[in-house]
Amino acid sequence: METKNQTGEFEFRGGSLNGFLMIVIDIVLWASVVLSILLAIVGESGVYAAFAVLLLIVAIICSCGFSMLEPNEAKVMTFFGKYVGTFRKNGFYWLNPFMSVKNVSLRARNLNAEPIKVNDKAGNPVLIGLVVVWRLKDTYKAIFDIDTDVSAANQVGASAAARMNKFEKFVAIQSDSALREVAGMYAYDNEDNNGNEITLRDGSAEINEVLTAKLNERLEMAGLEVMEARINYLAYAPEIAAVMLRRQQAAAIITAREKIVDGAVSMVKLALDKLSEESIVELDEEKKAAMVSNLLVVLCADEPAQPVINSGTLNH
């Protein structure tokens, strides 16, 4: 048996036999038990009776050690309370039936956490949810460093499923804590339009990396590993959603107005330059000011301009 210090998992080095070979041996043993009993009855011999009892005990022990292991599954082996290794060989085997076995799955699993309400860096309440892809990495820590007691289960398969469900609950609680911490480090969006600060809305790649690192720090003690963590839901909390929507609409209107004004000023300047260069009409400063005012009203107004026919002259 392995004798290294029990601070983490190691491979099981104990004896294991091919399961199909042991089936043949077990059949031979049971046949020998029946034959010994018949000989004991016919010959009324105590030797055959004792031999039959011995063979019966051996046959019963051999019948109890069969075990099958699929890919990405493992068995945590203990011998009278002592951890003796993790068995990972895929296939059909016979193992020492006096060992206690705890089945675990090493496959990747998804956790789709429901959105929770948190405060961002600016103190705004937001709803945020995440998806976590995780798997069991260290079987020793997972079994012996956190509480996964499933003694109420009646079957090995059921106990393995119940054990993995307890791992998932552990991941869910730690994910909630990590998500609250990470969400509080960033603002929902960049209200000042600085463009330099990472926000929850536009910095998903960087934030997902930070979230994955935070989760791995928390789950290391349980022998669990997060392969990927990403935010899959982000919105303002209902109590401020309407206000924030109006703020976003106002910001969009201001940005649009700025572009409209810039375009209108350029068009007015172009019109004045053309009139002056081609000597179409001579305008004094007062007429230019009136023309600029009218053009800006026409170009910047939301409603279509109403034409007005001037029947007088420019000198009138």
**pLDDT tens digits along 43-71:** 766 787 888 888 889 888 888 888 888 89
Residue 288 identity (one-letter amino acid): K
The answer to whether the beta carbons of residues 103 and 164 sit under 8 Å apart is: no
d(CA 297, CA 300): 5
- Which of 58-62, 290-294, 300-304 holds the top average pLDDT? 58-62
Domain locations along the chain: 16-104, 109-236, 242-300
Angle at the Cα of 16 from the Cα atoms of 12 and 18, rounded to 5 degrees: 140
Give the model confidence (pLDDT) of 231-255 as tens digits: 888 888 777 656 666 666 666 667 7
- Distance separating alpha carbons of residues 240 and 120, to the nearest angstrom: 13
pTM listed for this prediction: 0.67
CATH number of 109-236: 3.30.479.30
Q: What is the pLDDT of residue 253?
A: 67
Rounded CA gap, 119 and 126, in Å? 6
Q: What is the mean pLDDT of residues 104-123?
A: 88
Give whole-number Cα distances, 28 to 59, 62, 285, 288, 310, in Å.
9, 11, 118, 115, 119
What pLDDT band is residue 212 in, cutting at 50, 70 and 90? Answer: very high
Contact in structure between 245 and 284 (CB atoms under 8 Å): no
pLDDT given at position 281: 66
